[in-house]
Structure 1
Amino acid sequence: MKLSKLLLALGLGVAIASGPAAARDLKLASGVLPTHTNHTGYEAFAKALKEQAPDMNVRILPLSFLNSTQTYAGIRDGVVDLGFVLAPLLPSDLPEAQLPINLAMLGSSGFAMAGAMTEYLMTCQECQAEKLKMNHVYLGSVAAGPYWILSTKKITTLDDIKGKKLRSGAAPWGRWASDMGAVAMSITPNEIFEAMSQGTLDGGMLPASELTNLRLIDLVKHVTTGAPGGTYHGMEILNVNRNTWRALSEPQRRAVVDAAAMGSAVVTLRFLGDVERNLAEARKKGIQIHEAAPDLVARSKAFAAADIARVAASAEKDYGIKNAPAKAQRFRDLVAKWEKLIPPGIDKAEPKVLADILHKEIYSKIDVKTYGM
């Protein structure tokens, strides 16, 4: 039974937008706790949308309604109008998206990677086709800060990491962990706390922002910076049910698109600030902050350099992606482009500065008459 039918049977169904009146009240499934960084982006999106289209309202539904794995089906089936999608968890449905996601080790700036990922997916014909097939209209990605090791045990050297069980949020860090001699475990963000508290995990490869986002600050004893590196940019911050999208008027679609740029900018800035805030809070809690040892750093750099060719080969072999090397190169070029677009003092920039860059380079070029239709 589809998720929409199940919820309707339980009396929890929500109306699929079938006309202008229904489309004005948009139900958004966050898939995360209200304390999560992404939630601030949804609040900013709702506010920006209201300012541009006063007749449109956004109701943000909490994690208890749909979790991060259920939201994808919820959007597809019209249970909600829009929401958050963790694309790395959906390789069979979104094979084209896995190629740029798997190039995570190219990343050092969350803003650059979010911009590159959004531009890539919005202008990739095959990527668009697989999303529309699943009744989704894609409106942007965000990226977290650099990935470090958050653990209950000290892990700074190659000897330390051998045999350790570490949560991996996507394939690149799974490959990295295996190459380092660790055991990669793939579980959702909302399961990490319990797994670490029960000793099923020794730690996770995560950005420092997750210390508070996922309450890991109550469990983690050590943070190791400088490894594994890379950024997580497979977070599709705003996907819209295609039926809802089609039911909106062109001005309403334009308002949603423009508000999406602001939501993404707010999340980016929050992730940047969260790194420093979390490290400061961690020190107050007595958590030890370490730098990765030279042997772990050197091994990590060698892995990252060799990983690009592996990603392209895997995309062709495992997912049937055509012209994978050329697509990998295109994404690399977009990363280089967006790194040049990073404004000076980005961590202290106003959200509008980043939103304007995203709008100029990406969102203003969306033709709402045809996009997603």
Structure 2
Amino acid sequence: MNYKAKLLGCTAALVFSVMASGVALARDVKIVVGVPPGSGAEFGVKAFSEELKTRSNGELNVRIFPPSLLDLKQTFGGMRDGVVDGGYLVLNYFPSDLPEAMLPIELAMLGKNPYAMAGAMSEYIVTCEPCVAERLKNNQVPLGNASTGAYAILGTSPMTTEAELQGKKLRAAGGAWSRWAAAMGAVGVSLSGNEIFEAVSQGTIDGAMNAPSELTSIRLIDVATDVTTNMPGGTVHGLDVMSVNRDFWKSLSNEERRAYLDAAALGNAATTWKFVTDVADNLKMAKEKGINVHEASPEMLAKSAAVIEADLANIAKIATETHGIQDAEAKIAHFKELVAKWEGLLPMDKEWTAEEVAEIYRSEIFSKLDETKYGL
């Protein structure tokens, strides 16, 4: 017998011995985070990793892979094809693959409370049969969502009144913000996240509609002079940090799937908590740096609210004509009810910990998913 054969024989004997003794072999869970270190997504995945290890008694250990493996747009296909077991997805990037998920995403301007938006989106998706079906079709299992902080205007001049906003070119993250800008007399400009800093610094645009957490994450703190904190509002709540490859999900035991679901509640909560905390920290840093932090005038807020309400009335048409959604009006009404429910469960006038938010997500959503059936 050669050395290689002996080694294989010894390894097999060891595995058999460990299994016979009742001690489970630890298994790696490969998760890619296609954004730079320090992001809310990375924070959430790390919190999830520790929670999963504890809840699975050390049987499931997360390995986090950087953007050099898969970037944000590659992660969808990479998870579908089993390159990784899980990964950070921004669902907005995949409208043709996930038309049902686009409906609540289009309702971005409802977003004032990130914890509520993450809760509403998570509950909507995992209880919506067409939403789950479109993920299963792509060999993925949805496990809830996180949210950014509420959007502000990060610019190179004050933008708090109608006159100040007129004609300003502002980076818009999606259709809802582009439509808001047009109705308010500004111009929404579509740019990816890594293009914003250069566009603002070179004067190509006058600012960006983004959460204030972006002041440091993309270094807008070095070029912005003014921040309007209470306008336009809205959240990106289609942040998917916990979903997994369906084949991987099927390979888990019922006990491991339960551990994964319970830990996913923390992953979503911690990601959202990080975004919320970064908003507060960034606004404090902005003031210390001499950046002017404003609130929009009452007149502007009233106009903004009217614009948002009018736009919401058009979402059903957009969902039907653009994404082919059936019963769009009923689905919109359902999502609005969920937002109201979650705003009551997680009001923003309290300082929440990630663990407290996770416990509510767990009790209201994840504990109600049957690990013996869901996603299989």
What SS does structure 1 have at the residue aligned with 2:88?
strand
Q: Counterparts in 2 of 1:197-216, with a 5 A limit?
A: 197-216=201-220
Q: State the distance in 2 between where 1:82 and 1:265 align.
A: 17
1:265 aligns with 2:269: yes
Q: Is the 8 A contact 1:167 1:185 kept in 2?
A: yes
Of 41, 49, 62, the residue aligned with 2:44 is 41
Q: Give me the TM-score of the superposition, normalised by structure 1.
A: 0.89
Q: State the distance in 1 between where 2:168 and 2:26 align.
A: 49
Of 35, 50, 54, the residue aligned with 1:51 is 54
One-letter amino acid of the counterpart of residue 31, structure 1: G
Corresponding position of 2:10:
none
| CA deviation after TM superposition for structure 1 residue 176, in Å | 0.6
One-letter amino acid of the counterpart of residue 301, structure 1: A
Q: State the distance in 2 between where 1:323 and 1:303 align.
A: 24
Task: In structure 1, list runs of 5 or more residues that go unmatched.
Answer: 1-20
What SS does structure 2 have at the residue aligned with 1:93?
coil
One-letter amino acid of the counterpart of residue 81, structure 1: D
One-letter amino acid of the counterpart of residue 69, structure 1: K
Q: Give me the TM-score of the superposition, normalised by structure 2.
A: 0.89
Corresponding position of 1:313:
317
Of 91, 96, 108, the residue aligned with 1:92 is 96
| CA deviation after TM superposition for structure 1 residue 207, in Å | 1.1
| CA deviation after TM superposition for structure 1 residue 119, in Å | 0.2
| CA deviation after TM superposition for structure 1 residue 161, in Å | 2.4
Corresponding position of 1:219:
223
Of 135, 147, 154, the residue aligned with 2:151 is 147
One-letter amino acid of the counterpart of residue 82, structure 1: G
1:244 aligns with 2:255: no
Q: State the distance in 2 between where 1:366 and 1:280 align.
A: 40
Greater mean deviation of Cα atoms: 178-187 or 256-265: 178-187
Q: State the distance in 1 between where 2:257 and 2:242 align.
A: 13
Q: Counterparts in 2 of 1:22-171, with a 5 A limit?
A: 24-53=27-56, 54-171=58-175
One-letter amino acid of the counterpart of residue 340, structure 2: A
Q: State the distance in 1 between where 2:348 and 2:131 align.
A: 32
1:256 aligns with 2:260: yes
One-letter amino acid of the counterpart of residue 320, structure 2: E
Q: State the distance in 2 between where 1:214 and 1:102 align.
A: 24
Corresponding position of 1:327:
331
Q: State the distance in 1 between where 2:26 and 2:373 align.
A: 18
| CA deviation after TM superposition for structure 1 residue 165, in Å | 2.2
| CA deviation after TM superposition for structure 1 residue 213, in Å | 2.3
Corresponding position of 2:357:
354
Q: Is the 8 A contact 2:113 2:347 kept in 1?
A: no
Corresponding position of 2:3:
none
One-letter amino acid of the counterpart of residue 45, structure 1: F
Q: State the distance in 2 between where 1:195 and 1:64 align.
A: 25
CA distance 1:335–1:152, shift in 2 (3 Å):
same
One-letter amino acid of the counterpart of residue 94, structure 2: L
One-letter amino acid of the counterpart of residue 90, structure 1: F
Corresponding position of 2:374:
371
Corresponding position of 2:306:
302
| CA deviation after TM superposition for structure 1 residue 38, in Å | 1.9
One-letter amino acid of the counterpart of residue 30, structure 1: V
Q: Is the 8 A contact 2:26 2:59 kept in 1?
A: no
| CA deviation after TM superposition for structure 1 residue 40, in Å | 0.9
What SS does structure 1 have at the residue aligned with 2:70?
coil
Corresponding position of 1:16:
none
Percent of pairs with identical residues: 50
| CA deviation after TM superposition for structure 1 residue 23, in Å | 9.2
Q: Deviations over 1:89-130 (max 9, x none)?
A: 211111111111111222211111110000000011111111
Q: Deviations over 1:6-55 (max 9, x none)?
A: xxxxxxxxxxxxxxx99921111112211112211111000001111202
Q: Is the 8 A contact 1:85 1:235 kept in 2?
A: yes
Corresponding position of 1:4:
none
Q: Deviations over 1:55-103 (max 9, x none)?
A: 2111111223322222112212222110111111211111111111111
Corresponding position of 1:234:
238
Q: Is the 8 A contact 1:265 1:354 kept in 2?
A: yes
One-letter amino acid of the counterpart of residue 306, structure 1: A
What SS does structure 2 have at the residue aligned with 1:232?
coil
Of 173, 176, 181, the residue aligned with 2:180 is 176
Q: State the distance in 1 between where 2:171 and 2:348 align.
A: 34
What SS does structure 2 have at the residue aligned with 1:184?
strand
Q: Is the 8 A contact 2:155 2:224 kept in 1?
A: yes
Q: State the distance in 1 between where 2:27 and 2:205 align.
A: 44
CA distance 1:351–1:302, shift in 2 (3 Å):
same
Give the greater-gyration-radius structure (CA). 2
Equivalenced residue count is 352
Q: State the distance in 2 between where 1:74 and 1:308 align.
A: 34
Task: In structure 2, list runs of 5 or more residues that go unmatched.
Answer: 1-23
Q: Is the 8 A contact 1:138 1:239 kept in 2?
A: yes
One-letter amino acid of the counterpart of residue 166, structure 2: K
